[in-house]
Amino acid sequence: MRLSALLGLSDRGGLDWSRLRALQHAHAARYWRMGMLGQVIAAGAAFAISHPALPVWATVGWLSLLAVGLARYIVTSRTMRLERIERISRHRALIRAIGSAPIGFAWGVFALALAVWGTQTELLMAGPLWSPSWRPPPP
């Protein structure tokens, strides 16, 4: 099965994909608080790692971008919970995916900012935030 089908962005023959997408999104919408808590904990850890290295304007900009992304995600999740949609089209699933893209963009901006202003130690400490399979380079 293609990855796009698993993510609900394409339909394969024989199944009621719009209903499956609705069930998938309804289930994910119930756990939005856990997702937000994880984002806040990760942002706190990232701030603790990076605040000595990043300029104040870069830190404030990154935190603002992350807050906007999280607010958009909360609104989208709330809408999905309240509407109790029986079927979700591919177009609506794509809009939902695009709705959470600002969070990923904010973390990408953080990685770039830390790469520009951070020291080797801060990059090593921030590595696990980006990838669980990340390994430090050999000495």
Query: Which residue, 71, 50, 75, is CA-closest to 60?
Result: 50
How much is the pLDDT for 13?
A: 67
Q: What is the pLDDT of residues 32-80, one digit of tens each?
A: 788 888 889 988 888 887 888 788 888 898 899 999 988 888 887 777 6
How much of the chain, in percent, has pLDDT values that exceed 90?
Answer: 3
- Whole-angstrom distance, CA of residue 9 vs CA of residue 122: 37
How much is the pLDDT for 21?
A: 76
Read off the DSSP letter of residue 8. T
How many alpha carbons lie under 13 Å from residue 65 in its C-beta half-sphere?
16
- Whole-angstrom distance, CA of residue 133 vs CA of residue 139: 18
What pTM value is reported for the model?
0.66
Domains of the chain, residue spans: 16-127
Q: What is the pLDDT of residues 74-100, one digit of tens each?
A: 887 777 666 667 777 777 777 777 878
